Amino acid sequence: MNGPLTVGEAAPDFELVTHSGEPLRLSSLRGRQVVLWWYPKASTAGCTLEGQAFRDQISEFEARGAAVIGISRDTPADNAAFAEGEGFPFPLLSDTDGEVSLRYGAIDSTEQSHPRRVTWIIGKDGRLERHYDQVSPKQHASQVLGEL
């Protein structure tokens, strides 16, 4: 495992399962900006607010050519219930072993069951463009959108 990620370096590639059970590889999104947002636990109050804000502004993200992807340590089934219950039009990824969350700084060890609210914007070239730590669930989507 390398040290902490920094803006400007290549985003580490990974493949995780979406809430619909399909694998998604980060590198398959090359050519688009990608907003990776970590949330602590599916269907909890703050995570729901944050997800709803991304959902409600998804057309603006898409108009800018950006893909929005949520990540948690929840199971695909828990993420499916969350996505379907809230009508999320973007994938929720399950990082059940915590390896991706650890690499991207959302957790400090794989023993940590709930990631922090961390977001990375990845550029079209696959490089890390922006990092957000300790975000406000209600305001975060607008903040990110304003900086794309």
DSSP symbol at 118: E
> Would you list the DSSP string of 5-74?
--TTSBPPP-EEEETTS-EEEGGGGTTSEEEEEE-SSTTSHHHHHHHHHHHHTHHHHHHTTEEEEEEESS
Work out whether the CA dihedral 25, 49, 112, 106 comes out positive or negative.
positive
29, 42, 47, 66: the catalytic one is: 47
Give catalytic status of residue 113 as yes or no.
no
Residue count (the chain): 148
C-beta of residue 47 within 8 angstroms of C-beta of residue 143 = no
Rg (CA), the chain: 14
Just list the catalytic residues: 47
